[in-house]
Amino acid sequence: MRYHLRRAVRPRLLVPALLVAGIVQLGFTAGGTEIGDGFGPWGVARLYAVMTPIVLVGLVAVLSRLWHDDDLRSNWLLSGADRPAVVKDTYRNFGAGFLVYAGFVVCLGVFAAFRLSDTPGWSLPLLTITVVGPLSGGYIVLAAAYAVARVAGGAAARTAVVTILVSLDAINQLPWLPLSASATSLAANRALIWGASLKNLTFAEVAPSTGFVVARIVLVVGATLSVALVALRFRRRLYPR
């Protein structure tokens, strides 16, 4: 994993940049955005709903070097990598990119935590919203894009998958909400996946619906398997038979 994380130099640099930008944009304009003065569950929801698509679309472009097929292929050929090694390295390669994204999400969460420090009982619900929301959603979107790009053979396919999914999420037109990157969009709130709309909830009342969580888990498992399947497909074509 460390090898692949080293290769993600530029994407990693964007994490502190986002933190600074977030502080400037949101920290100094409190009350001036739709997040408002009362930065409760609704503030967290809007923060994630607005920022997650931006982060994903921005990140997928700079991840193309890390996730470049030719680099992986070259190392696998040089090492004569067998099947388990190819699958493991594929996960490490994907995981390095996802960890950079997770770094962004943690930055957003840290910012939210600063804004919430005066609110009682915020920590566990914030963690729940973050994990069920942008963390798992981003994983699903990125893994789907990673797998499609491997099959379609290009960074353009990866960018297209991410752009389509997060755009539909941003405009509240996703055909199936478990695919939502943030899970805090207006559509998600209307579908009451957090028990009620986060606008009307206190942190103590935040409880994601079982159906949504199960669907999310199924998608995470499916996305993980799809990465393994494309690794095996890629490996089959690595050495001529």
Partner 1 sequence: MIELSDVTLSYGEIDVLQGIDLSLGADCDVVALLGRNGAGKSTLLSLLAGMTRQAAGSVSLDGTVLGADRSRLRRNGTWLPQDLRLDPQVSALAFVKHLLGLRGLPADDAAELFEFFGLGWAVRRPLGSMSGGERQRVALVYAFAADSPLVLLDEPTQALDPWERLRFAELLAERAARRTVMYATHFIADVEATASRVVVLHDAGIAFDGPVHALSATAPDVYVCEGDEKIMAHIADVAQVTGLARLGPDRYRARFATKCPPDEATRVEPTLTDAYLVLTSGLDR
The footprint of partner 1 (CB under 8 A) covers: 2-3, 6-7, 9, 65, 70-71, 74-82, 85, 89, 239-241
CB 62 within 8 A of CB 14: yes
155 or 170: whose CB is closer to partner 1?
A: 155
4 or 115: whose CB is closer to partner 1?
A: 4
137 phi and psi, to 5 degrees? -65, -45
220 or 238: whose CB is closer to partner 1?
A: 238
In the complex, what is the shortest distance from the CB of residue 3 to partner 1, in angstroms, rounded to a whole number? Answer: 4
In the complex, what is the shortest distance from the CB of residue 190 to partner 1, in angstroms, rounded to a whole number? Answer: 44
Residue with tokens 């040089």: 78
CB atoms within 10 A of CB 189: 23
Q: Is the CA virtual torsion 148, 153, 157, 159 positive or negative?
A: positive
80 or 120: whose CB is closer to partner 1?
A: 80
3-state class (DSSP) for residue 38: coil
In the complex, what is the shortest distance from the CB of residue 8 to partner 1, in angstroms, rounded to a whole number? Answer: 9
In the complex, what is the shortest distance from the CB of residue 80 to partner 1, in angstroms, rounded to a whole number? Answer: 3
CB 195 within 8 A of CB 207: yes
For residue 156, count CB atoms less than 10 angstroms from its CB and return exposed for 0-12, middle for 13-18, buried for 19 or more.
exposed
Q: Is the CA virtual torsion 105, 43, 209, 181 positive or negative?
A: negative
76 or 104: whose CB is closer to partner 1?
A: 76
In the complex, what is the shortest distance from the CB of residue 32 to partner 1, in angstroms, rounded to a whole number? Answer: 40
